[in-house]
Amino acid sequence: MTFKLYNYVLSGNCYKIRLMAALLDVAYETIAVDFYPGFEHRSPGILALNPAGTLPVLTSGDMVLTETQAMLTWLALTYDVTGTWYPVDDPERLATITEWLGFAGRLSQSAGLARLHDMLNWPADEKAVKAAAISDLRTLELHLNDRVLEGGLWIAGDGPTIADIACFPYTALSPDAGLEHDGYPAIRNWLYAVRALPGFVAMPGIHYLHDLKETSGD
């Protein structure tokens, strides 16, 4: 089984799917969409797949998925032979993962939108979205710090799950909106841990671990 990903290389949400597929070592077809400056996501072809006009869009056979968290779930259930990325046999952990998938959606609307505003002059209330992003980063920092005190590292349980992948991109990309990670040591350690996962792939603005030695950011 394979799938198609309608993709924009600078999108954090599209990157979530590319990263998850890489970590699972899954081959797929990429269809580039000129989100900006071409606004191709508003073209009749994309709107026929996703009337909301958002990216990414994932198709497999007759299935069309337009919500990133649903795509991550489908990828884990379809391709993860270990069952650890979305552990359906562990209701408590699964509930925690689901909660953080919701948080990841919120993060897209705060840090993600702030990044769009700063990079592409996207219409947004800059003060409001950056305040929301700071609040979300603090929430994640407190949670990850609690995990460290419990002897853990990952968002939910002893290993990485789709919750980590869902929250990673817009956290890592928040400096694009002027939201640096200097005051978030637990987040910085977690970002390094995600980058250290076998199969990790980068995107513009998110470096490989060996590249970080030459940069001052995460």
CATH of 4-79, one of 2.40.30.20, 3.40.50.300, 3.40.30.10, 3.90.1150.10: 3.40.30.10
pLDDT for position 196: 97
Sign for the pseudo-dihedral over CA of 82, 93, 113, 170: negative
CB 60 within 8 A of CB 66: no
Residue pLDDT, tens place only, 164-184: 999 999 999 999 999 999 999
Task: Give the span between the Cα atoms of 75 and 1, in whole angstroms.
Answer: 11
> What CATH number is given for 91-198 in this structure?
1.20.1050.10
| pLDDT at 218 > cutoff 70 | no
Q: Using N-to-C axis directions, what is the helix angle for 12-23 and 68-79, rounded to 10°? A: 10
DSSP H or E run through 7: strand 4-7
Average pLDDT, the chain: 93
pLDDT for position 112: 96
Sorting pLDDT into bands at 50, 70 and 90, what band is 48?
very high
Which of 31-45, 71-85, 120-134, 139-153 bottoms out in mean pLDDT, i.e. has the lowest?
31-45
Sorting pLDDT into bands at 50, 70 and 90, what band is 8?
very high
How would you label 91-115 residue by residue, b for 16+ Cβ within 10 Å and e otherwise?
Answer: eebbebbbebbebbbbbbebbbbbb
What are the domain boundaries of the chain?
A: 4-79, 91-198
pTM: 0.93
DSSP at 204: T
Task: Give the span between the Cα atoms of 30 and 22, in whole angstroms.
Answer: 13
Q: Taking residues 24-33, what's their average pLDDT?
A: 96
